Amino acid sequence: MSGNGNSTNRSKSRTAKKPHGITGGTHEANRLAVVILEVLAGERSPSEAAKLLGIGAPRYYQLETRALNGLVQALEPRPKGKQPSPANRIAELEKALEEARRRCNRQQTLVRIAQRSLGIKASPPAGGKHPPKDRAKRRKRRPTVRALRAAKTLEAATGVEEAKSLQHEKQAGDNADVSSTKTEPATGGVPEAKSGAVG
């Protein structure tokens, strides 16, 4: 009997269920997962779950659908073998990009050498942009805004009016000087001697 009991205990220990190795997430995510699992297990109704979470029924169904979609995506078969990490993948892409740039520079150098040997004028770079020397020779055209053009027109008109008023004032001043010159008697530039008894 003791032998049978020991074998039974061993079989039970072997078939004992192990806890799930779920890493879990934030407190809110864990709380939502627990409630959704309880609804799926039949322990709660969707309305009770929505009331417990403080949300409406439509919002609960959205969360439940998103959770099930995540479950299906997590169960998709993964490629076999060791997969590169995102950091390693980025490093590989950067290395490939640098190698492509070096090949491109090498090809451009070979093209320029061939053009010089054949006496062919170098074509402008892609995009229709001019070389740096041509850009330096070309004068930059300052953008003219319609508001600035209107302001300049008004300033010009104001300057004309001010010039006209200044001209009228000058003419009036000249006329006044001429009239005062005509009415002033000529003294010959010699001051009159004061009359008085000489002691």
Q: How far is the C-alpha of 131 from the C-alpha of 125, rounded, in Å?
A: 7
Q: How far is the C-alpha of 11 from the C-alpha of 4, rounded, in Å?
A: 11
**Mean pLDDT to the nearest integer, 33-40:** 93
pLDDT of residue 78: 81
Split at pLDDT 50, 70, 90, the class of 163 is low
**Mean pLDDT to the nearest integer, 153-167:** 65
Split at pLDDT 50, 70, 90, the class of 96 is very high
> What is the residue extent of each domain of the chain?
26-75, 90-122, 147-178
**Which run of H or E residues covers position 158?**
helix 146-183
pLDDT of residue 177: 62
